[in-house]
Amino acid sequence: MLDRQLRPQREVVVTPIQPLLPGLSDWGPAQVTIVEHAYRVDWGQGVRPRFHHVTKRKTCQCALGPACPSVLRVREYLEAGGERAPEYPDDYWPAIPDACPICGSACDAYPPLDFAAHGLGWTCRSSGTLHYWEARLRPILRARQALNGEPRWVIPPVVSANGEVLYPGVTVDDVRTAREQAQATRCRWRAEGYNPLS
Ligand SMILES: [Zn+2]
Ligand SMILES: [Zn+2]
């Protein structure tokens, strides 16, 4: 280790050919650490760039992308039982979603809503930016509800004097679910035509 540090530093630019070369392990076991929802690979001082960020989508953020040896290094690390990076929260989009999480219709990239903490911005074809914001709010609403502990009633339940439930009540979640289902049905009808059985 000391010997390696005393030797003059050689700059190595990682090229796309390098992953094919068996000699890459000469650079020593690259250290893998978890940074948020991705892996940071540290190849040591001899390699430039020294630090690589490999996402859960098996690509490196350096110019080599999926061809970067760091991707293989992360796979080795995981196969050896290394800890997995935490899953993305449901208000974080590392890529434009295939389908709107609120209504299921197609989504398009919308860079004005790109945020470091929330990933890529998108709009959905049935609502524009509205469903983006609804999706962003869901974890907040859930957290608030968990803090309150109790379901939040739009119409409180009716319980008789002897404890019998006369009316189960309607919660904020019930209303939201019903609205989401109605919206999804509307989108389906729009896409596939009206079918009274669906
Ligand atoms: Zn890389
Ligand atoms: Zn939508």
pLDDT digits (tens, 9 = 90+) for 72-102: 999 999 999 999 998 888 888 988 988 999 9
Q: Kindly report the pTM of this predicted structure.
A: 0.48
125 shares a domain with 56: no
Instruction: Find the helix packing angle between 130-148 and 172-192, rounded to 10°.
Output: 160
Q: How far is the CA of 139 from the centre of ligand 2 (A)?
A: 17
Q: How far is the CA of 3 from the centre of ligand 1 (A)?
A: 27
Q: How far is the CA of 135 from the centre of ligand 1 (A)?
A: 32
Residue 98, domain member (yes or no): no
Say which ligand is closest to the CA of 124: 2
pLDDT digits (tens, 9 = 90+) for 140-151: 888 777 777 666
Number of domains, the chain: 2
Q: Give yes or no for a contact between 85 and 38, defined as CB atoms under 8 angstroms apart.
A: yes
Q: How many residues does the chain have?
A: 198
Q: How far is the CA of 37 from the centre of ligand 1 (A)?
A: 16
185 shares a domain with 145: yes
Looking at residue 150, its pLDDT comes to 66
Say which ligand is closest to the CA of 30: 1
**Mind spelling out the 3-state secondary structure of 86-150?**
CCCCCCCECCCCCECCCCCCEEEECHHHCECCCECCEEECCCECHHHHHHHHHHHHHHHHHHHCC
73 shares a domain with 137: no
Residue 32, domain member (yes or no): yes
State whether residue 76 is helix, strand or coil: helix
Q: How far is the CA of 195 from the centre of ligand 2 (A)?
A: 20
Last residue of a domain, one of 79, 98, 126: 79
- Local confidence pLDDT in tens for the 198 residues of the chain: 444 444 444 444 444 434 443 445 455 678 999 998 899 999 998 888 999 999 988 999 999 999 999 999 999 999 999 999 988 888 889 889 889 999 999 999 999 999 988 999 999 999 999 999 999 988 888 877 777 766 677 777 777 777 777 788 888 888 888 888 888 888 888 888 877 765
Residue 100, domain member (yes or no): no
Last residue of a domain, one of 36, 61, 79: 79
Q: Which residues contact 193 (CB under 8 A, 6 or more apart)?
A: none
Q: How far is CA 190 from CA 101, 131, 166, in A?
A: 17, 17, 38
Instruction: Look up the domain containing 69 and give its range.
Output: 2-79
Say which ligand is closest to the CA of 184: 2
124 shares a domain with 178: yes
Q: Which residues contact 18 (CB under 8 A, 6 or more apart)?
A: 24, 69
Last residue of a domain, one of 79, 97, 120: 79
Q: How far is the CA of 93 from the centre of ligand 2 (A)?
A: 15
Looking at residue 148, its pLDDT comes to 72
